[in-house]
Structure 1
Amino acid sequence: MISNSQDLTINKKKYKADVSPDMPLLWFLRDIVGLTGTKFGCGMAQCGACTIHLDGEAVRSCVTPVSRAIGKKIVTIEGLSENGDHPLQQAWAEVNVPQCGYCQSGQIMSAAVLLQEKPNPTDSDIDDALSGNICRCGTYLRVRQAIHTAANIQKSSVSNAS
C-alpha cells in the first residue's frame, strides 16, 4: 500500500492514495475517485480511451501505476475545463464529432496536448498525434475538423484577450 501521506492531485483536488502502488491509475480515477469520463478500452495502452494528462503529457492511465502519479498534476476530461468550454469541447459539439462517444474523452485529451505544443497543427500533425486513439465509429475526419476548429477558437480567444 502507498502510505496515507501520499496524495494524488487530480483536477486540482487532493486525494489520498491508500492503494497498491501498482494499481493502474485508471482504476483509481474511476473506482476510487468516481471520475468515469476516462474510459477503459483495451487495458494495454493501444486504444487511447483512457488518455489523461500527467504533468501536461498525454498518458494512458490503464498502464500507468498510481505510484508514477504521486506528486504530479493529473488532469482528466472532467478537469480539462470548469464549464465544459475548452476550445476542443466547443469544437467537438460544433462539428458534431461523437457517434457512440466512447473514445471521445481520450481523443480530446490527446488533442489538448497537441494544441499546447502546436497551436496551428497540420492534418499530418493531427494524424500523428492521434494515431494511438482508436474510434470504432470512424469519426476521424470530424475529429480532424474539430481540432482545426478548436485551433481557430483558441486563436480568436487569444487575440480577443489582447
Structure 2
Amino acid sequence: MTSLQEGIYLEEKKGRIGTGHTSSNVTYKNYYAVRLSGEMAELFLLDDQLSLTGLKEKANQQSVLQRMTFKPEHQVHFESLRAAMGPGANPSPVPQKRDAAKVPQTKPQAGLPQTKPEAAAPQVKQPAKAPAKQSRQDPWWEATSKGAKDLLKK
C-alpha cells in the first residue's frame, strides 16, 4: 500500500454536459497541493497556472489516495507554494547540499539613494493671436468659381 506524501496531485472526474443531441462527455481536471496534517490531509485547490486559489478542504488520507494521482514532476513547484499555504504541519525536511570549501558570498554595500532633480518652473505659453480678418471689396458671391447663378436650387 502506498502512503500519501506531500506534493501536487491531480483529480480527474468524468462528466456529461449539455442536453439532447448537443451533449458531450468531458473530463474535469483539478490540481491540488496536498499537505499532511496528522491523519488528515489538507487539500489546496490550484488554478490552471498551479497557483493557490484560496479554496481549502480537509480529507482522509485514504480517500485522497483513491481519488487522486501524485504528480512528482511538479514537486519543485510545490516547494515554492509551501510558504504561501500558511501555517500548518511541519514541512518535510529538504536536504541541503553544503560545501565547506565555499566562502559565503557577500553583497556589495548599496550606495546612497538617488534623488530626483528639481523641476524647472513652468513656462507660460503666450496665446497665439488670431489673424486679422481681411475685408473684401467685392461681394462674397463673386468669390465662388461658378458665380451666383448656381447658389440657389430651382
Q: TM-score, normalised by structure 2?
A: 0.22
Tell me which protein shows more helix as a share of its residues.
1
Tell me which protein shows more strand as a share of its residues.
2
Kindly name which structure, 1 or 2, has the bigger radius of gyration based on alpha carbons.
2
Q: TM-score, normalised by structure 1?
A: 0.21
